[in-house]
Amino acid sequence: MSLSGGLTAGLVAGLTSRAMGGVSAWNPSRLTGLAVTLLPAESRSRGLLWQNTAETVPAVADGDPVRVAVCPYTGVKFTAPSDAARPLLWDEGGGKWSLSFDGVDDYLSSPNVAATGTQVVGVRFRNASSVSGVRLLVSLKDRLELAVLPTGGYRPLTWLYGGTNNTVGLAESTALDAGTYATAVISYAGGGPTVAANYGVVWNGTERTPTTGSNFGAPTGSGVGGRDGSAFFFAGRMPAVVVADASADAATRALLSTYLGAL
Amino acid sequence: MATRVYVVARVPAAARETCEALVNPYLASPNEPGVYTFSVPLVPLAGADNAEPTAYGVCSAIMDDSGLYQALPALSAAVPGTAYKVVSPFRTFDLAADWTGWLAAGGLKVRQTVAL
């Protein structure tokens, strides 16, 4: 399906579902270049979460550790590198589920979380209450990192391009509320990764203007919730991560943001 | 009724391999090559952030009726210099108090080698 075809289908589905009072008709499978998703609620309902690498012990109950999470759309797996690194399935109530990351050593990796030419990443998350410093949401080796600065930072969400040590960030001045879920969708359209105009950012449903900021080093690994060798593991809960290896225009970013915001 | 708890633990760097072998029989799945259960490098609290690790740490969720939980006292006693703490139930885990603060009370902090 072409980008325009996918976009049109997505828009139609989104508008139709909104008219019907929901957003369930649109899902990440409509994204061009969908690489992998981490959707605990949907994977759980389809029997695609496992406590062990042999995939013989399902993760279904509150508190169950997740060693393997299978994307319901692509079949691509997220895997924790060890039993200790497993995030926990968390019952949010109302049929909603997330994965809880302890902030010490929990993270998931996937071969399809990798840097490509153009890209879109969407994530919904909630910080733990007692967190300080930079925490990693999504890392793509040698390319970029989606990070959160829960306290003391003027850019709580930052899209980092490591290749030239330049940062393209979201100029968000309000500190993140630890008790509130946040949704971010960031796309890179190509044309130069250090140019802010080549990025599109939707923060909690509102399109924002990214800016170019200070320097960070290139990420040395890939993962969700952290990466090997990092001391900045995410502490909190994530109901969704979506990674597609194609850019997304403003309309598609809005659809993805709405989808994520309902999880 | 069994309760899921978090266990944080730290082991001396010199005893890391010994401790890995001790807990290995209790794991649901083997670690990948080169990946450790005790994966978090720890350095002296008063020293440089990027000092050589003197210890390694872990945070893992287990059931309080599991074999690993029941073996924790004996495992820790078998290797001098190890320490652990149980946080029950798992939902009460507080990163600042139960990890960062617990490490600091033991004179340790997480090693940081880069700004990010």
Please report residues of B whose CB lies closer than 8 A to that of A51. 28
Chain A residues with CB-CB distance to B8 below 8 A: 104
Neighbours of A51 (CB within 10 A): 22
**Residue A57: CA atoms inside 13 Å, Cβ hemisphere, count?**
11
Closest CA to A240 of A74, A27, A8, A23: A27
In this complex, do A86 and B39 lie within 8 Å of one another by their Cβ atoms? Answer: no
Q: What is the pLDDT of residue A70?
A: 97
- Chosen for mutation from A79, A82, A234 (greatest number of chain B CBs closer than 10 Å) is A82
Structure tokens at A146: 């989606």
B32 interaction partners in chain A (CB closer than 8 Å) = 81-82
**CB A231 to CB B110 under 8 A?**
yes
Rounded Cα–Cα distance for residues A120 and A151 (Å): 26
B30 contact A CB<8A: yes
Residue A17's pLDDT is 42
Chain B environment of A84 (Cβ under 8 Å): 37, 39, 58-60
Q: Please judge whether B116 and A128 are an interchain contact, meaning their C-beta atoms are less than 8 angstroms apart.
A: no
Is the preceding omega at residue B53 within 30 degrees of 0, hence cis?
A: no
Please list the ranges in chain B whose pLDDT falls under 70: 114-116
Widest Cα–Cα separation across chain B: 45
What are the tokens at A9?
């289908």
Query: So what's the pLDDT on residue A153?
Result: 52
Mutate to test the interface with B, among A55, A83, A237 (most CBs of B within 10 A): A83
pLDDT of residue B47: 94
Q: In this complex, do B31 and A83 lie within 8 Å of one another by their Cβ atoms?
A: yes
Distances from the Cα of A71 to the Cαs of A42, A162, A191, B98, in angstroms? 9, 27, 30, 32
**Which pLDDT belongs to residue A195?**
75
From chain A, the residues in CB contact with B36 under 8 A are 82
In chain B, what percentage of residues exceed pLDDT 70? 97
How many Å apart are CA A220 and CA A245, to the nearest integer? 20
Say if A216 is an interface residue toward chain B (CB within 8 Å). yes
Distance CA B116, CA B101 (A): 21
List per-block mean pLDDT (blocks of 10 residues) for chain A, which spans 263 residues. 40 41 74 96 98 97 97 95 97 96 94 83 86 79 73 60 57 62 88 78 87 63 81 91 93 97 95
Q: Would you call B70 exposed, middle or buried from its count of C-beta atoms within 10 A (0-12, 13-18, 19+)?
A: exposed
Mean pLDDT of chain B: 95
CB contact under 8 A, A130 and B94: yes
Output DSSP code: residue A151.
S
**Gap from B107 CA to chain A (nearest CA, Å):** 17
